Amino acid sequence: MISEQEILSASILIVDDQIANVQLLEQMLRTVGYQCIASTMDPYTVCALHRDNNYDLILLDLQMPGMNGFQVADGLKEIEIDGYAPIFVVTAYPDQKLRALASGAKDFISKPFDLMEVKTRIHNMLEVRLLYKKTEDSNKVLASLALHDALTGLPNRRLLMDRLALAINHARRNKGLMAVMYLDLDGFKQVNDTSGHDAGDALLKMVADRMVAAVRQEDTVARLGGDEFVIALWELSHTDGVAKLASKVLQAVSQPYNIQGHSVSITISIGVGIYPEHGEDAKTLLKSADTALYEAKHAGKNNIRIAKSMVIQY
């Protein structure tokens, strides 16, 4: 639901070439309690103003010199590509009602108008507009949640697979290298058991931040769930770069953490798969890295293993 205060706080733009009409509408709106009111007598500025301010309602006169309201409405529809241009037409020509609605206006009132009717129509249109925006925002949040881990904000498996496919295709086209690091925290269950899940969640978020800081901007750090992470390394010039980046991540994660006033230390094991040597598609590459991770864990943890390669211990 939209509250009365939300409606009165909505942003409104008055567009009319007659100063008397602007003053009348502005006085009416302020008397009701609307707080965010702007106006312009120049129709050529409307689209730029709306692009900058994203008004919740535009009170638009149709008959203006140089550029009429229909032309303004056409420009506003190009900005509001989602299909909801918040245009409320005010005109002295009621026979233009159908044309105004066809041009994208959501409502219409004829001059001279009844103030109570205008107030009611504006209130109702703003309520619909704000509900629409709230729904749109909720949909954006849901879309983001579908691609990102709720705890850390990192890409989830779905987004990781898209990024991996892009990185592999790029490497294939350029006959280059890329790599995947599969990471797992050593002893994370013990942190949860001794300090509680809140501490465990705080630790995971800190670990995620350190991983992101340790790799390059073009690389992707993702959380698959629990204490499992994957890092997709974009274009690499040579395989030595993989070991250096993995070592940098391992050392960054292994530094002590301050959680709830206590110092917490944890290590990490890393398995690495390199394209094209250990797989030419995302699924195979991840499997190679996962197998290398298992071997790294078996070898004593806190180390890096490159698929079909040697263990690097620290």
Token pair in block for residue 30: 């302020």
Residue 100 lies in a domain: yes
pLDDT of amino acid 115: 80
Peptide bond preceding 112: is omega within 30 degrees of 0, i.e. cis? yes
Overall pTM surpassing 0.75 (yes/no): no
pLDDT of amino acid 313: 47
Domain that holds residue 170: 157-313
Mark whether 120 and 192 lie in a shared domain.
no
Mark whether 43 and 170 lie in a shared domain.
no
Mark whether 216 and 181 lie in a shared domain.
yes
Mark whether 34 and 130 lie in a shared domain.
yes
pLDDT of amino acid 105: 83
How does 72-98 read in b/e, with b if 16+ C-beta sit within 10 Å?
bbebbbeeeeeeebbbbbbbeeeebbe
β-bridge pairing 87-91 and 177-186: unpaired
Kindly calculate the radius of gyration of the chain based on its CA atoms and give it in whole angstroms: 29
Instruction: Give the domain-ending residue among 112, 147, 182.
Output: 147
Residue 101 lies in a domain: yes
C-alpha separations of 135 from 9, 10, 127, 275 in Å? 18, 16, 12, 42
Residue 152 lies in a domain: no
C-alpha separations of 69 from 41, 72, 211, 253 in Å? 12, 5, 54, 60
Q: Is 227 a catalytic residue?
A: yes
Instruction: Give the domain-ending residue among 147, 177, 197.
Output: 147
C-alpha separations of 209 from 223, 226, 269 in Å? 12, 16, 17
pLDDT of the chain along its 314 residues, tens only? 788 999 999 999 999 999 998 998 999 999 999 999 999 999 999 999 998 998 999 999 988 888 888 899 888 888 876 667 789 988 887 778 788 787 788 888 887 777 888 888 899 888 888 888 877 777 666 666 678 888 998 999 989 998 999 899 989 988 999 999 999 999 898 888 888 888 899 999 999 999 999 999 889 999 998 999 999 998 888 888 898 999 999 999 999 999 888 899 999 999 999 999 999 999 999 999 999 999 999 988 899 999 975 444 44
Instruction: Give the domain-ending residue among 147, 181, 211.
Output: 147
Alpha-carbon span 44 to 40, nearest angstrom: 9
Alpha-carbon span 251 to 274, nearest angstrom: 21
Which of 160, 295, 301 lies closest to 224 in space, CA to CA? Answer: 160
Alpha-carbon span 211 to 229, nearest angstrom: 9
Mark whether 127 and 207 lie in a shared domain.
no
pLDDT of amino acid 81: 60
Token pair in block for residue 17: 């070439």
Mark whether 143 and 27 lie in a shared domain.
yes
Residue 182 lies in a domain: yes
Place of tokens 């050529």: 44
Mark whether 124 and 25 lie in a shared domain.
yes
CA 39 to chain CA mean position, Å: 31
Mark whether 61 and 115 lie in a shared domain.
yes
Mark whether 76 and 217 lie in a shared domain.
no
Place of tokens 């530094």: 255
Mark whether 124 and 212 lie in a shared domain.
no
CB atoms within 10 A of CB 51: 12
pLDDT of amino acid 182: 97
Hey, which residues does 141 pair with through a beta bridge? none
Question: How many domains in the chain?
Answer: 2
Mark whether 186 and 306 lie in a shared domain.
yes
pLDDT of amino acid 23: 92
Alpha-carbon span 125 to 113, nearest angstrom: 17
* 140 exposure class (CB count in 10 Å sphere: 0-12, 13-18, 19+): exposed
pLDDT of amino acid 303: 92
The CATH number that applies at residue 286 is 3.30.70.270
Catalytic residue among 107, 184, 219, 227: 227
The CATH number that applies at residue 72 is 3.40.50.2300
Residue 70 lies in a domain: yes
pLDDT of amino acid 106: 85
Mark whether 169 and 278 lie in a shared domain.
yes
Give the contacts of 62 (CB within 8 A, at least 6 positions apart). 68, 69, 70, 89, 90, 91, 93, 96, 100
Phi, psi of 82 (to 5 degrees): -80, -5
